[in-house]
């Protein structure tokens, strides 16, 4: 009960999905400027009930993919706050509720904003798309593995909004993951810039440099992405290259299973979708992930075919079939169904 009471305090004027509110869906990442008289607390959240079926080993389960509740509000014209709890019992190691996001944002104007607390690192297009706004049920392997830890404690400077062609974010973070003190005396730096040269096209680039272990071992990551929209058709692509040390305990992103990585790794994905007049959206996604560039036989590929049905503005049904290919073939294709409700 105390956690739920504490939860009811949040709002942020941000760029690149720092949190999980609908406002950080890629098309709605930035919120409008908060005025002192608009400081009323807003409660929000979403539930993702899911069914997973493995085609070949007959493993199947019902579960909550995510069950999040949060609050947002303003304490003054220039200061807002944002708090989110993850309540899905399968996501924590002991089945308990845990703090996902919690940060305070100072916003003097659209180009001078600072967030302090725990939030997503500003790296990558897919990672910084809200979980409730993903086109497929699962994020790509490279987003889950190479951008981990996706959330961290730190300070971020950001600017721009949905109406500006340029948007940016730069963060200084621990590099050790959610609710974890730094495991060394150094800090990680990450950043993302996006630019909209045309109304139908947005391109972006990301960079991260840090020290994920408790020694001087370095890690460097680069990313490039593009998103094109023409009427009801959308095409999204992203490439990530990563090298150096990594913390195996935090690899795996938001709920993913950590993989063993080589000294150099890379991957990419392309997603195509089309929204029909019946609110039915066919989806096709291809992705690959080479976990070790120095050796062969480390390629992982997934082809996702599915359909999204938007029942109303707050309810969505997603059905995905994942065809998985590995260098050493594993019978692990999957059929996923998810029903999402936002509030």
- The mean pLDDT value for 94-103 works out to 92
Alpha carbon 326 to its chain centroid, in Å, reads: 24
Q: Which of 235, 226, 243 is nearest to 290 (CA)?
A: 243
CA–CA distance, 205 with 210 (Å, rounded to integer): 17
pLDDT of residue 108: 87
Look up tokens 């308990």; give the residue: 96
Read off the pLDDT of each residue in 325-337 and give the average, rounded to a whole number: 85
- What pTM value is reported for the model? 0.87
Average pLDDT, the chain: 88
CATH no. of 2-342: 2.40.160.10
Mean pLDDT value across residues 7-18:
42
Among candidate residues 176, 167, 327, the one with its CA nearest the CA of residue 262: 327
pLDDT of residue 31: 37
Instruction: Flag whether pLDDT at 124 surpasses 80.
Output: yes
- Backbone φ and ψ for 22, nearest 5 degrees, come out as -55, -30
- The reported pLDDT for the residue numbered 9 is 35
Residue 209 pLDDT more than 60? yes
pLDDT at 3 over 70: no
pLDDT computed for residue 12 by the predictor:
37
User: Is the pLDDT confidence value at 32 over 50?
Assistant: no
**Residue scoring higher pLDDT (258 or 109):** 109
């Amino acid at each position: 009960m105390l956690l739920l009471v504490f939860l009811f305090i949040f709002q942020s004027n941000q760029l690149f999905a720092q949190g999980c509110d609908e406002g950080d869906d890629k098309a709605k990442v930035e919120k409008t400027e908060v005025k002192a008289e608009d400081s009323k607390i807003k409660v929000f959240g979403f539930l993702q009930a899911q069914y997973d079926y493995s085609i070949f080993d007959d493993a199947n389960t019902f579960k909550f993919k995510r069950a999040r509740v949060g609050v947002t509000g303003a304490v003054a014209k220039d200061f807002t706050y944002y708090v989110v709890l993850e309540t899905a019992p399968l996501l924590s190691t002991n089945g308990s509720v845990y703090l996902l996001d919690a940060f305070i944002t100072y916003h003097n104007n659209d180009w001078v904003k600072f967030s302090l607390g725990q939030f997503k690192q500003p790296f990558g297009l897919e990672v910084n798309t809200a979980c409730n706004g993903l086109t497929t049920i699962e994020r790509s392997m490279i987003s889950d593995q190479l951008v981990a830890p996706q959330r961290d404690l730190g300070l971020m400077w950001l600017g721009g909004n949905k109406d500006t062609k340029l948007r940016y974010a730069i963060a200084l973070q621990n590099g050790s993951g959610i609710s974890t003190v730094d495991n060394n005396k150094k800090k990680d730096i990450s950043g993302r810039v996006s630019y909209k040269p045309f109304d139908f096209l947005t391109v972006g680039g990301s960079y991260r440099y840090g020290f994920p272990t408790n020694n001087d071992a370095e890690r460097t990551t680069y990313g490039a992405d593009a998103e094109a929209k023409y009427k009801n058709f959308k095409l999204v692509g992203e490439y990530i290259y990563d090298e150096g040390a990594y913390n195996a305990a935090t690899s795996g992103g938001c709920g993913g299973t950590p993989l063993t990585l080589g000294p150099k790794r890379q991957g990419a994905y392309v997603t195509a979708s089309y929204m029909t007049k019946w609110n039915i959206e066919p989806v096709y996604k291809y992705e690959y992930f080479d976990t070790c560039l120095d050796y062969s036989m480390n390629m992982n590929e997934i082809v996702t075919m599915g359909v999204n049905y938007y029942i109303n503005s707050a309810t969505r049904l997603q059905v995905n079939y994942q065809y998985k290919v590995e260098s050493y073939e594993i019978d692990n294709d999957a059929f996923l169904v998810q029903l999402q409700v936002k509030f």
